[in-house]
Chains A and B, each alone.
Chain A
Amino acid sequence: MRTYALYLVRRFAQFLLVVFIGINIAYLITHLTPVDPVEQAISSVTMFGQSSPEMVEVMRKTLRELYGLEGSPWEQYVSFWRRMATGDFGPSLSAFPTPVSTLIWQALPWTLGLLVSSTLIAWIVGNFLGGLAGYYRKNSLLKALGILAMSLQPIPYYIVAFILLVVFGYLWPVLPISGGAEMNIDRQGFAFAASIVRHSILPVLSLVLVGLGAWFIGMRSLVSNIVTEDYVTYAELGGVDRRRILFSYVMRNALSPQLTGLALSLGAIFNGAIITEFVFGYPGVGTLLVRAVNSGDYSLVLGITSVSIIAVATAILVIDIIYPLLDPRVARS
């Protein structure tokens, strides 16, 4: 128990460090680049005319305060962190005066749903098939699957999403290719849920297809290493049921490195989810981010960057907390 507590403390420290370094990178980018976000915001507003010089001056002052550009560099840094710590990203410029945090809270459930379901499906299916392929090495169907998984793996999300879009959007239009749910539908009840599921099929599929390959290949090589271990040979000679050897002896032992991989891949999957959302017009954080950039919404872009760093770090922390419960050796090492 004590080792577990110690492990938790260490993991939590790591979590804090990830958030700290990540947000510092965001701070450096926003403060070291030659572009002044305030002037940028003002120019994007004044582009539409109708703003007197006095109004611009007032706006400039408010924005400078808002973005923490007042005072010495150190004061700026401290005030930046104070706002980040309280989750106050200021009002969105493009959807003034809605606070950035409200916009993100509205988009987050969509992204989370997409991420959780696609990650789990890809992980489970990839590991299961990979385990089979590692154990039954002579099976030609599994071999073909291996080649397919390998050729899908290096392809970026966008391309896969795009191919799905063309196939199901133009060639065989059976599935909705845009949006998160039907617009003219009651926001509760079974019909709404069904609509959400239908709209999520293609985005989830594109994420799963790309994610699957890595798990498949990883699991296959892990299993084919374990199969040669003495205890497996012994069990085989002892006449233990093959299926039992595969699932309880081989796959179980191969799962824990795959779980670490799950934690590590989350950041990358998150990137994929963002671009997938954009392609399918899914109402999540990714679409929000693209819209924020296109409308010059500084506070929203910065808010999403910070929230995504915190979200990914939290997800990894959760996996790390569960991890030693499955494999007690982890906490001890």
Chain B
Amino acid sequence: MLRTVRDLFRYNLEFALGAILILIVFAFAAASFFSPYSPMDIYVVAPDVPPSWAYPFGTNSRGQDVFWQLTVAIRNSLLFGISVALMSRVLSLLIGLVAGYAGGITDRILMTINDTFVVIPLFPILVLFFFMMRDNMSWPMLAIAMASLGWPYDARLIRSVALSLRTREFTAMSVFSGMSTRQILVEEHLPYVLPIVFSTTLNNMNWSIGLEVTLSVIGFTNIETPTIGTMIYWANQHTAMVAGVWWWILFPVVLVIMTFLGLYLLSVSMNEYIDPRSRLTRMGGQA
């Protein structure tokens, strides 16, 4: 495992870049535990101070230190992404594995539902959800809502792997040796699917953080919880761009782009690592 990571780091530029970006972002999030201010407090420092040695990212119009505010915000955004990704992984694994293994009518039904979920426009539905919840809208609620909508694409991927596993000999062996379906899926098939699960987790995190930012920017989430999206929301509310408080928006935007790019590069290099054909091309062979 460690050796794989070291090799990837050395020979795969995307992986190295992605890993560095993500490490910076995580270090930033970890710094939030040393924050001298409570993230919810406002007017703890002088407002609208441009970046300086005392305040490296400046302070915002609400009297918060942008640097420390950002550390908490990125931590919450990451946590959000991770929880959505983990929850939706359970659904996509369950549906993908079962559909691939069972085949026939079960597969047909599950995949029809799956395709339906792929094309339904999520944004209006999430807005409707926010609209109904309003003041009861909490962070875990949104995560659950997104997780229950964010599984279908990856379920299809997992199913395609499960389909090929089903026809392999070791599956037939397991069936003849009397393993139950659950045992076969969990003990035999799951390990083969895990690499894909890992790379789709990264994509799913990107997707959910992006959607959360988008919703927050128009104020359609719990705006009191500091996330990257709500930071931009408050900056917009105080017309930070027009007022010339550019650092209030610039630093969250830069950090969130770093996050997206890092996760994306990691998942791309992960996919490439999983797919041996592209690894051969990289090494100079003919695919």
- In the complex where A35-B134, A267-B118 touch, is A301 in contact with B127 (Cβ < 8 A)? yes
Question: Min CB distance, A316 to chain B, in Å?
Answer: 5
In angstroms, Cα B123 to Cα A309, docked, is: 10
Q: Does B36 belong to the interface (CB within 8 Å)?
A: no
Question: Min CB distance, B61 to chain A, in Å?
Answer: 18
In angstroms, Cα B126 to Cα A308, docked, is: 13
Question: Min CB distance, A164 to chain B, in Å?
Answer: 13
- In the complex where A21-B117, A267-B119 touch, is A158 in contact with B128 (Cβ < 8 A)? no
Q: Does B264 belong to the interface (CB within 8 Å)?
A: yes
Q: Is the CB of A290 within 8 A of B121?
A: no
- In the complex where A33-B133, A301-B131 touch, is A18 in contact with B120 (Cβ < 8 A)? yes
Q: Is the CB of A35 within 8 A of B133?
A: yes
Q: Is the CB of B125 within 8 A of A25?
A: yes
Q: Is the CB of B263 within 8 A of A154?
A: yes
Q: Is the CB of B120 within 8 A of A312?
A: yes
Q: Is the CB of A270 within 8 A of B123?
A: yes
Q: Is the CB of B256 within 8 A of A159?
A: yes
Q: Is the CB of A316 within 8 A of B119?
A: yes
Within 8 A of A (CB), among B180-200: none
Within 8 A of A (CB), among B211-252: 211, 213-214, 217-218, 220, 232, 241, 249
Within 8 A of B (CB), among A222-241: 224-225, 228
Contact flags A259-283 to B (C-beta < 8 A → 1, else 0): 0000110110011001100100000
| CB neighbours of A308 from chain B (8 A) | 121, 124
| CB neighbours of B113 from chain A (8 A) | 21
Q: Does B112 belong to the interface (CB within 8 Å)?
A: yes
In angstroms, Cα B261 to Cα A311, docked, is: 32
Q: Does A37 belong to the interface (CB within 8 Å)?
A: yes
Partner of A312, one of B117, B121, B213, B287: B121
Question: Secondary structure at chain B's binding surface: helix, strand, loop or mixed?
Answer: helix
| CB neighbours of A22 from chain B (8 A) | 116, 120, 125
- In the complex where A34-B136, A162-B253 touch, is A264 in contact with B127 (Cβ < 8 A)? no
In the complex, residue of chain B having the shortest beta-carbon distance to the beta carbon of A21: B116
Q: Does A153 belong to the interface (CB within 8 Å)?
A: yes
In angstroms, Cα B263 to Cα A289, docked, is: 31
Q: Does B129 belong to the interface (CB within 8 Å)?
A: yes
In angstroms, Cα B218 to Cα A301, docked, is: 15
In the complex, residue of chain A having the shortest beta-carbon distance to the beta carbon of B244: A170
Q: Does B57 belong to the interface (CB within 8 Å)?
A: no
Q: Total interface residues on A, using CB and 8 Å?
A: 52
In angstroms, Cα B116 to Cα A263, docked, is: 12
Q: Is the CB of B127 within 8 A of A289?
A: yes
Q: Is the CB of B286 within 8 A of A267?
A: no
| CB neighbours of A313 from chain B (8 A) | 119-120
In angstroms, Cα B211 to Cα A154, docked, is: 12
In angstroms, Cα B117 to Cα A302, docked, is: 18
Partner of A275, one of B117, B123, B132, B268: B123
- In the complex where A157-B214, A298-B131 touch, is A14 in contact with B115 (Cβ < 8 A)? yes
Q: Does A250 belong to the interface (CB within 8 Å)?
A: no
In the complex, residue of chain A having the shortest beta-carbon distance to the beta carbon of B117: A21
Q: Is the CB of A37 within 8 A of B132?
A: yes
Q: Does A30 belong to the interface (CB within 8 Å)?
A: yes
In the complex, residue of chain B having the shortest beta-carbon distance to the beta carbon of A292: B131
In angstroms, Cα B50 to Cα A143, docked, is: 38
In angstroms, Cα B278 to Cα A228, docked, is: 13
Residues of B at under 8 Å CB distance from A? 112-113, 115-125, 127-134, 136, 206, 210-211, 213-214, 217-218, 220, 232, 241, 249, 253, 256-257, 260-261, 263-265, 268, 286-287
| CB neighbours of B220 from chain A (8 A) | 293
Q: Does A62 belong to the interface (CB within 8 Å)?
A: no
| CB neighbours of B268 from chain A (8 A) | 150
Question: Min CB distance, B85 to chain A, in Å?
Answer: 15
In angstroms, Cα B131 to Cα A289, docked, is: 11
- In the complex where A156-B213, A159-B253, A305-B125 touch, is A293 in contact with B130 (Cβ < 8 A)? yes
Q: Is the CB of B287 within 8 A of A305?
A: no
In the complex, residue of chain A having the shortest beta-carbon distance to the beta carbon of B229: A158
Contact flags A10-29 to B (C-beta < 8 A → 1, else 0): 00001001100110011001
In angstroms, Cα B121 to Cα A18, docked, is: 10
Question: Min CB distance, B250 to chain A, in Å?
Answer: 9
Question: Min CB distance, B49 to chain A, in Å?
Answer: 21
In the complex, residue of chain B having the shortest beta-carbon distance to the beta carbon of A165: B241
In angstroms, Cα B144 to Cα A95, docked, is: 33
| CB neighbours of B117 from chain A (8 A) | 21
Q: Does A166 belong to the interface (CB within 8 Å)?
A: yes
Could you list some 8 contacts between A and B, CB below 8 A?
A17-B112, A21-B113, A33-B133, A153-B264, A154-B260, A158-B213, A267-B118, A309-B125
Question: Min CB distance, A265 to chain B, in Å?
Answer: 10
Question: Min CB distance, A189 to chain B, in Å?
Answer: 34
In angstroms, Cα B131 to Cα A37, docked, is: 9
Q: Does A106 belong to the interface (CB within 8 Å)?
A: no
- In the complex where A17-B112, A228-B287, A275-B217 touch, is A35 in contact with B132 (Cβ < 8 A)? yes
In angstroms, Cα B64 to Cα A230, docked, is: 63
| CB neighbours of B257 from chain A (8 A) | 155, 159
In angstroms, Cα B120 to Cα A327, docked, is: 25
Q: Which of A14, A151, A159, A304 has the most CB of B within 10 A?
A: A159
- In the complex where A14-B116, A154-B206, A170-B241 touch, is A275 in contact with B128 (Cβ < 8 A)? no
| CB neighbours of A153 from chain B (8 A) | 264
Q: Does A40 belong to the interface (CB within 8 Å)?
A: yes
Contact flags A133-161 to B (C-beta < 8 A → 1, else 0): 00000000000000000110111111100
